[in-house]
Amino acid sequence: MVLNWKTGGVLLGLVFFLAVLLVKPIGVSTQFVILDAIIADVVNPDLITPTEDGYSSTNAYLAKSDGKYANNAANPLNYSFVFVLAMALGAFLSAMARGGVGADERKLPAIWYANYGDTPVKRYAVAFMGGFIVLYGARLAGGCTSGHMMSGMMQTAVSGYIFAAGAFAAALPVAIMMYKREG
């Protein structure tokens, strides 16, 4: 069971408000880049390079804005990265507290099963490719559902509206074509 939309909506709105009251608006997708940079720097230690007052990178994206991303990757114990780790922990504890996600659902969501049957490999391939274009798109856009759509529209940011228009223009037809049967 999920929370009634009135309770859930107010609670989610309060979290977004508390974030901007106490620190800054919520965002997630940048941390995929930071994790990539941390991993890549282990493989190739020349990726993140110390400067006089912080860090820069041989990668132009990590080096942009005075090495903001390079600095965060060099110091992962920063607000935004810890936020995403804590988010995962919060979701885990919440799911456990309500009895956990069932074994069937953990393997395949019901909506997939209703449309494509017991085809986990196909599902995992779609999830992988979906993840690829979601994060490529989010980085191109400079934010994702949390940063652009929710935090952005909440702040009356024009970018948030442009992003939401693009996201729904693609999401609705794709979902309607792919998931004809209700799960």
* Span 42-101, contacts to other proteins by CB under 8 A: 59-62, 64, 77-80, 82-95, 98, 100-101
CB of 52 or CB of 92, closer to other proteins: 92
For 56-88, the DSSP string reads EESSHHHHHHHHHHHHHHH---SHHHHHHHHHH
Q: Which is nearer to other proteins, 52 or 103 (CB)?
A: 103
Cα–Cα distance measured from residue 106 to residue 125, given in angstroms and rounded to the nearest whole number: 16
- What are the CA-CA distances from residue 13 to residues 82, 149, 179 (Å)? 21, 13, 29
Segment 13-32, which members bind other proteins (CB under 8 A)?
13-26, 28-29, 32
Cβ distance to other proteins smaller for residue 54 or 173: 173
Give the 3-state secondary structure of residue 51: strand
Task: Report the nearest approach of other proteins to the CB of residue 61 (Å).
Answer: 4
**Using rule CB under 8 A, residue 102 touches other proteins:** yes
